[in-house]
Chain A
Amino acid sequence: MSDEPTHKMVDGELIELTPAEIAEIKRMQAEFVPPVVEQTPQPKQEQPDARSRTRR
């Protein structure tokens, strides 16, 4: 599916975008600075032995 902007919804109405609006949307989305995501790996937690819990 293309992510090219073609339409907008305004107060429930589907409206085709003008070339100027498309340009404004692309410029705005390019300018936005998203949150900084820290890729910090978490230490693995020890899992209890499932067999020891089910065998009684």
Chain B
Amino acid sequence: MRQIFKFHGGVHPPTHKIESTITPIAQAKLPSKLIIPLHQHVGVRAKPIVQVGEHVLKGQIIGRAEGHISSTVHATTSGTVSAIDLQLVAHHSGLPDLCITLIPDGKDEWIAHSGVDYKQTTHTELRHLLRQAGVVGLGGAVFPSDIKAYRHKHTINTLILNGAECEPYITCDDVLMRERATDILRGAELLRELLYAKEVLVGIEDNKPEAIAAMQQALQDEQHGHIEVITVPTLYPSGGAKQLIRILTGIEVAAGVRSTEKHVQCFNVATAYSAWRAITFGEPLLSRIVTVTGNVEHAQNFEVPLGTPIDELVAQAGSKPDTERHIMGGPMMGVDLPSDSVAVTKATNCIIAASPALFPPPQLELPCIRCTRCADVCPAELQPQDLYWFSKSKNFGKAEDFHLFDCIECGACAYVCPSHIPLVQYYRFAKSEITARERESRAAEIARERHEYRQFRIEREKQEKAEKLAQKEKAAMAAKTATPIVSENPDEEDAKNQLRIEAALARAKEQAATNKPKNTEELTEQQQAEIAEIDARRAKAHQIATSEDKAE
């Protein structure tokens, strides 16, 4: 029996998981239209590579990964691209982002695809395939998996497969483990190979006995030597990567430190499953399991094509009229969706239909009484009451000193707060304010550098010009003072010069003869008089000049 460890704090919110696990995973119906966001992952937004009106096949790449940290986006069914524009997406800001709208043709026609045997393929090629298949972390962080499945600087001893699924209502990983345990474990073996890890630990909370049994069974059937399924106690937020690492290995991962530096890497069970499908069958990430629960007729898990609008998905579980909003994710960390028409993305693990009865409006925020209950439950061992104080007073430097960025925004503090303070909102405000400031100061630093360089360049150009001028002058002086070249035959030289002068004079005369003044015919009397006057003045000036010359 492996020893497991404890992390600090944690809470026990009601789980509400039974409702959606009674029935198996259902295939969601193809919607009337698919809205596929191009930014479904952490990193740079994918670049659209299709045109409006183009017909695409299922699995065809419609968004190309741009830059190092990015991922590919595919058409989730065959159909016609009807728009590439800004649409509302599932994001806290409620702001629109670039999406490709696809009208399905109903044929669901696949593009040619084939898998490889990972044991016969180089790791570089495998990582490339993962990137091309758009595989990202499906636990919610959506970090591109090809980057995580690379042993870079540090050796990886332990690969952790996260099947804890600690947040209330969400059961997508639970049912996936129940129904597709074999493929998950094969995927885990693939990821272990990529990372050269010694062991794989699958952490599952003890409120999912069926999933644990299914995984154990698959483990026995397939004889995976390096994998171990470990039951962990149900405690929110044990599904946080850092918390699960702590529980399974006892290793503390500090803020700003990557778990790989501690020789541990963590993947979600669904990510392992998708990686396996992508490599072995060449199937890109086109759908994911989504729990539809809350205020619906029959809560259930669906295999949903990415891009399905929420309202069409919820309708399949039986939407109720008193639903006032939808939450993507769990009630603790989820996103309030800005509209019912936003699409399912790779990060959508759960849709909760919220009614006032199920999720009453937040109670009035009362002053903090410094009871420190929040500090007792904080899994990151912070002092939430102090962080709240500094965030509220916009004392950001102090908040950072108190390790604000260690906060994983799990919401345990706000859950227990007797004054109903929306603590996480304050932390998020402070965090985004700090990051914005850092971005600004970086931009200012670049502007300063560019300005200083420009001034240096202008100065340098000035100097170079001055030097050039000085050199020219020097050369001219040198030419003047240098002794003239003495010809061997002075008479001949003189004669030559004389000839040249004569030739030039002849040319000038000829020109004077041929170039007559124009417009001199048909002049009016007035003009004639003006010309005569000017001529006279000229003659007089000439006379004066010659007489002065004589006088000298």
A and B, one complex? no
